[in-house]
A and B are shown apart, each in its own frame.
Chain A
C-alpha cells in the first residue's frame, strides 16, 4: 500500500484497476475524495482511508471522507470543485442511482476546479444483490463525458486525463468501469507526482448565473452544456486506439470495443492468429463520430464487443444509418440470451451476465466462419453434467446476526410474518439454511416497502436495516412510518461498522462525532424502542421481540453487537 505513494516516476508497481485510479488522482494532485463504500468500487475509499494522513503531509488541503450516502458524497465533492479544488467521488452502479438526482443538475452548472466521478458496474452481480446495470445510459442521459479504461495502466492514465479534461471544460468527467476491469491487477509504470493543486486557500466565488439553476436561465445552461459536449467530442476524436488498422482482411470484418471487452477481443486475435482491425474507444460519451464512421467505411461487418445491454451497438447503428452505410453491425441484436448458445446470427453476445474471453472468441469465429481454438460447446456439455454443490456466501461463524436469526426462529411463526431484507451482510438471510428474506431491493427500502404492506394488509412485517444503511437511506423511511402511521417491527442490525464492504466507519461510530441511532428514533416520536445486545442478553431480546410483535404502531429494536471479524481485527 505504501508503494502507491512512491514519488519516483518510472517505477513499475502492481496495482488493481481501482488502486490505479487512486494513483492517477494522486498524480493529478487531488484535494478532496469522497465515497460511500460499495463493491466493485470499494478499493478507492479504502485506499484513501489508509493513506489520508500521509497525503495530508504532502497537501495540507487534502480531505477524505466516507459520506453518509453516494448523493451526499457527490454533492460534497461538487462543493469542493465549486471552490476551485480537484475532487474525486467514487461509487458502485447503484450509488449513481442515489446520486443521479444531483448529477443531472450539476452537469448544467459545471464546476470551477475539476471533478472526476468514478463508477463501477457489476456485470454478473458478483457483489450486488440488486440488479445488473449499465451506467453508460446515464452518460447519455446526463450528458457527462465518460471514459472507459481497459487495464491498470490506463486506469491511472485515464484518471489523469479526466482531471485535465474536467479542468479545461469546467465540467465533471466520469470514469466507468466493470468488475473484471476494476479487479484485475497488473504492472503500472508510475508518473510524476503532483503535490496538490491548491497551495492557496480555497474560495467559492459567487456567480449565481452559473450555479443557480432557475428557469428560464436553466435552459440556457442546458444549451451551454451541449456546446461543451460538442467541443469535447473533438477531444474524443483523438482519444482512442486502432489496432491492425491498415490490414483490412478480405472478409472486411472489424471490431469496435472498449474497457475490459477490448482485452477479450485482443486475446481472441492472439489465440486465432488474426489481424482484424479493432477500434478501441477511450470515450464512450461523447463518441468520436467521425472516427467511427471512417472506421466503418472500410468494412462490411463490424462486431461491437461490450458487456450488458447494447449501448455502443445502438449508437453506432444510428450513426451508420444516418450516413447510409451498408455495413452490418453485429453484437447483441434483438435476442437476449444468458451467455451460452446463440441461435440468432445477429445475437452473438449475451446481454445478461459478464463477458468471458471465450464468448468473444466464439463470436468472432462465427462471423468469420472459422473454428474456435477449442470445442467450447462440447466441453461445456461435459462440465454441466457434473454434480457440483453450490457454495453460496453465508454469515461468518460467530457473527452476531446468528443470535437474531435463532431468536426469531424460536419466537416467530414464519408463516404469519413477512421478512423484509436490505443491503448488507444480513441479505445473506436468503441462504437456504436461514430463509428469513421475503423481499430484497435497495438501501432504505425494507422499511418503506414494509410500510406499504402493513398499511394495506393485516400481515405483520419484520424488516431488517443495517446500521450503515440506516444512515444511508433508512431515516426518511422510518419517519414515514410515523407520519403515515403503520406498524412494522424494524430491527436495526447494528454491528458497529459497514461490514460487508470491508469495515468502513459510519456516522454511528465516528471517525468524527458519533451519532446515536436510538436518539434519532426517539426524536421521531417512536415510543417502542429498545437497544439490546442480542448476544449478551438473549432473554431480553426474545422478550422484546414478543412484545413488539403485538404492537399496533411502529416499533424498533436496535440489536447492537460488534461484527465478529472487526472484533478479532481490533484485538490483534
Chain B
C-alpha cells in the first residue's frame, strides 16, 4: 500500500528535462524520441526547440515536459529534474535550470569554442556542484566512437542510461518504440544497439 502511494506522488508531479549541447549533436531527434515514448504511454507532454540561425554550431537546448495538463513548453528557471548535457561546457549554460533537486547526466566530451579558452573538467564540475550534488559523468561519446565509430549515438546511449538509472520516468519499451518511430530505417539498428548497450 505504502509503495503505491509513493508511486502516485511521483506520478502527480510534472517531469522537466533540458537537453543541452552543440548544434548537430542530435538534440531534436532525442526530443522526438521522448515525445513518441510519452505519447505511447498516453501522457501529456510538450517539447520546445529552436531552428535556424541558432543551430549553426552554436549552443542548442531543447526542453521536454511531461505529466498532467502541461501548459508551458519551457522549463522554468531552477526547475529541471534532469539535465542531459551532451557537451560539458554547455552544462554550465544549463545551470539556469538547475537547483538542488536537479540530476545532471553529463557526456564526458568537450567541444572547443573558436576564439575561446577551453574550460577544464574540474572547473566545470565545481560550478555544477554549487547547484546540485547529483552529478553523473558517462563516457558516452568515447564508448559510441569505439563501438559504432559514431559519436552522435552518445545521445541515445545516454537516454538508455538515464532510463536504467530511473532518472527518466518512461519505460524502456516506450523509448524503444520512440526510437523505432523517429530514427530512419538506415540508422535504426545502431541506435537501438547504442540504447540497449547502456542498459546492459
Contacts and interface: CB of A to CB of B under 8 A. Distances in A.
Contacts of A428: 56
Given A267-B72, A389-B119, A392-B58, A126 B53 contact: yes
B79 to A, nearest CB: 7
Interface in B9-55: 22-23, 31-32, 35-36, 39, 44-55
Contact of B78 (A42, A263, A379): A379
Contact of A386 (B58, B74, B95, B99): B95
Interface string B113-127: 111110100000001
Interface string B75-116: 011110000000001101101100100000000000001111
B48 A382 contact: no
Interface residues of A, number: 55
Contacts of B53: 39, 126-129, 393, 500
B200 interface: no
Contacts of B90: 391
Contacts of B130: 382, 386
A161 B115 CA distance: 51
Nearest to B130: A382
A433 B71 contact: no
Contacts of A357: 72, 74, 76
B73 interface: yes
A167 interface: no
Contacts of B54: 126-127, 393
Contacts of B74: 180, 264, 356-357
A500 B58 CA distance: 13
Contacts of A65: none
A185 interface: yes
A522 B56 CA distance: 34
Given A126-B52, A500-B52, A14 B32 contact: yes
A163 to B, nearest CB: 26
Interface residues of B, number: 49
Contacts of B79: 374
A548 B71 CA distance: 57
Nearest to A264: B72
Contacts of A374: 76-79, 99
Nearest to B42: A12
A388 interface: yes
B76 A393 contact: no
A186 B51 contact: no
A196 B52 CA distance: 32
A443 to B, nearest CB: 14
Nearest to B70: A186
Interface in A358-372: 358, 361
A219 B93 CA distance: 56
Give the most central of A179, A260, A361, A393: most B CB within 10 Å: A393
A187 B95 contact: no
Contacts of A524: none
Sorted from nearest, which 10 A-B pairs have the closest CB atoms?
Answer: A39-B52, A127-B52, A393-B58, A184-B73, A393-B56, A266-B71, A267-B72, A185-B47, A389-B116, A263-B71
Given A126-B53, A395-B56, 13 more contacts: A14-B39, A39-B52, A40-B51, A186-B70, A187-B44, A267-B76, A271-B76, A374-B78, A374-B99, A383-B96, A386-B95, A431-B114, A502-B51
22 contacts: A14-B36, A14-B39, A183-B48, A183-B51, A184-B48, A185-B31, A185-B32, A185-B46, A186-B45, A267-B71, A357-B74, A361-B76, A379-B77, A386-B92, A388-B89, A391-B57, A391-B90, A393-B56, A394-B57, A428-B56, A433-B115, A501-B52
Interface of B: 22-23, 31-32, 35-36, 39, 44-59, 69-74, 76-79, 89-90, 92-93, 95-96, 99, 113-117, 119, 127, 130-131
